[in-house]
Amino acid sequence: YSGKTGSQLLGEHFRKLMVRDYKSVPAVCQEETSVYDAICTMFLEDVGTLFVVKEGGILTGVISRKDLLKSSMGSQDLQNIPVGVVMSRMPNIVSCHLDESLLDAAAKLIRNQVDSLPVVKEREESDHFEVVGRISKTTITRVFVEMGLGKSV
């Protein structure tokens, strides 16, 4: 008998879960994408956040539901507002890595009060990060439910 408490064992188990094993497919758009098209993409891909990328899938920003709502207020033509003017921009994007624990990613979601994190891979060209996945509050909730029920949902 190890003498560890239930929560210590649970914590150890949690720390072993890795971002690479739980990430989902990222939904992306470009800075030139219109606010109108970004809203359509959110509905079609059934996500609440789009990652904004340039050539090679390099992360340039993040656009959330509320960013799009904000830019939709007033009478502007949504087909003519590019996502680039309303998105949150690098280097102010909180992201995570494939080899990071899911627990650390979850802590970033809470501490930064955001709904999702891009999973990124560092490129040779130093400050370039390629988007390879997504961790969202749904990802974390699913793991929580699966651990509780002992089966995949």
Which of residues 68 and 143 has its CB atom nearest to ligand ADP in the complex? 68
**Could you give the CA distance from residue 63 to residue 123 in angstroms, rounded to a whole number?**
22
Contact predicate 58/129, CB 8 Å: yes
Which of residues 48 and 84 has its CB atom nearest to ligand ADP in the complex? 48
Question: Which whole-number Å values give the CA distances from 49 to 27, 53, 60, 63, 69, in the listed order?
Answer: 8, 13, 14, 6, 12
Q: Residue 130: helix, strand or coil by DSSP?
A: strand
Q: Which of 23, 29, 67, 134 binds ligand ADP (CB under 6 A)?
A: 67
The strand pairing partners of 144, in sequence order, are none
The strand pairing partners of 96, in sequence order, are 119
With CB under 6 A as the rule, give the number of residues binding ligand ADP: 17
If one asks whether residue 66 binds ligand ADP (CB under 6 A), the answer comes out as yes
The contact pattern for ligand ADP, residues 22-51, with x = CB under 6 A and - = no contact, is --------------------------xx--
Q: How far is the CB of 9 from ligand ADP (least distance, A)?
A: 31
**Could you give the CA distance from residue 104 to residue 91 in angstroms, rounded to a whole number?**
19
Contact predicate 120/129, CB 8 Å: yes
Considering only the stretches 3-11, 22-30, 38-46, 88-96, report the one whose residues sit in contact with ligand ADP under the rule CB under 6 A: 88-96
Q: Which of 18, 90, 98, 114 binds ligand ADP (CB under 6 A)?
A: 114
If one asks whether residue 64 binds ligand ADP (CB under 6 A), the answer comes out as yes
**Could you give the CA distance from residue 38 to residue 36 in angstroms, rounded to a whole number?**
5
Q: Which of 117, 132, 135, 143 binds ligand ADP (CB under 6 A)?
A: 117
Residue ranges in contact with ligand ADP by CB under 6 A:
48-49, 62-67, 88, 92-94, 113-117
